[in-house]
Structure 1
Amino acid sequence: MKKLTYSTIINKPRDFVFDKLTDKSIYPQWAKAWGDGMTYEGKWKKGGYMSYFDHSQGGTKVIFEDLKPNEYIRARHIAMVNPDNVEVELTDDMMKKWIGSLEEYYFKEEGSDITKFEIVMTVDEAFREMFDNAWPKALDYFKEVCESN
């Protein structure tokens, strides 16, 4: 497993950035880095489950191992889901490599109304190229959404 780190500076306070991250209405605006029509279903709480998917290809399901509002989120990928958000059998090696991946979000105060938003992915090396392409785009989109509101 490799640790991949991505970050951006957002000119808004931590609570604002956290609220935008967990706002389902704006999620598609920045998650488009992974494809059009992204959505999620679930609860943003420690011990809660969340599925991130689109209605054409499906996606992934996580459990929030830790969630401290405005500070930290740790999500472990536990299943794949189909376009209807139903768990599917792991049928190929890439799916099997994905399960167990860890996604961590850090909200760090960098000054008055400035937040360093950092994502640390702990994943199989096979996913490095995908994340190296998608996360910088997603963070640019997310920063734009946050700073335009």
Structure 2
Amino acid sequence: MGQDLNYSVEILAPRERVWEQMLGEAGYRDWTAAFCEGSTYQGRWETGADMLFLGPSGDGMRARIELARAPEAVSIQHLGELAGGAPKEGSDWQGVFERYHLLVQGGGTRLEVELTQVPQAYVEMMNTMWPVALQRLKQACEA
């Protein structure tokens, strides 16, 4: 059984800017470098769309966008892992949800991130990488 994880950051920028920086191609590459330098995605941030989240090696995740409601929320359902661009058998990440909520707060945005049922082997790594990623996103949005 996995563990639910929650992270948040206060960003002094309107949520439309945070949304674009977080999910636009250039902004996405920047803040997700905290997880894997050269991270990209293939697909569309639209409800029901299939997505691939890839590192330069072709390793990554297959996912479906459960919900995309700009600039308020996006929910990603992980379907499994990729190894060298091909589906990997027996993925620990199948069924994990990654949800983002962008809340108006004062003159800025509170970004809340929720990960459900993260495999125990990844909890420490997530707790190390997520705060770094969110600070990168905050700096880019406030620049």
SS at match of 1:97: coil
For residues 29 and 60 of structure 1, what CA distance do their matches in structure 2 show? 18
Matched-pair contact (CA < 8 Å) for 1:109–1:116 = yes
CA deviation vs aligned residue, 1:40-76 (integer Å, no higher than 9, x gap): 1111000011111112251001101111111111111
**Are 1:48 and 2:29 an aligned pair?**
no
Report what 2:32 is aligned to.
31
**Are 1:98 and 2:93 an aligned pair?**
yes
Matched-pair contact (CA < 8 Å) for 1:33–1:138 = yes
SS at match of 1:126: helix
Two-structure CA RMSD over aligned residues (Å): 1.4
1:135 aligned residue (124, 130, 141) = 130
**Are 1:87 and 2:86 an aligned pair?**
yes
Where does the alignment leave 5 or more consecutive residues of structure 1 unmatched?
none
Matched-pair contact (CA < 8 Å) for 2:20–2:27 = no
Cα distance, 1:82–1:96 mapped onto 2, change above 3 Å: closer
Q: Shift in Å at residue 5 of structure 1? A: 0.4
AA at the equivalent of 1:144: Q
CA deviation vs aligned residue, 1:10-61 (integer Å, no higher than 9, x gap): 0001111111111101222111111211111111000011111112251001
AA at the equivalent of 2:61: T
For residues 88 and 141 of structure 2, what CA distance do their matches in structure 1 show? 37
**Are 1:109 and 2:104 an aligned pair?**
yes
For residues 21 and 68 of structure 2, what CA distance do their matches in structure 1 show? 15
SS at match of 1:37: coil
For residues 10 and 88 of structure 2, what CA distance do their matches in structure 1 show? 39
AA at the equivalent of 2:39: M
**Are 1:12 and 2:13 an aligned pair?**
yes
SS at match of 2:101: strand
CA deviation vs aligned residue, 1:69-107 (integer Å, no higher than 9, x gap): 111111110022234xx33231xxxx5221111100000
AA at the equivalent of 1:138: A
4+ runs deviating over 6 angstroms: none
Compute the TM-score of the two structures, normalised by the length of structure 1: 0.88
Compute the TM-score of the two structures, normalised by the length of structure 2: 0.92
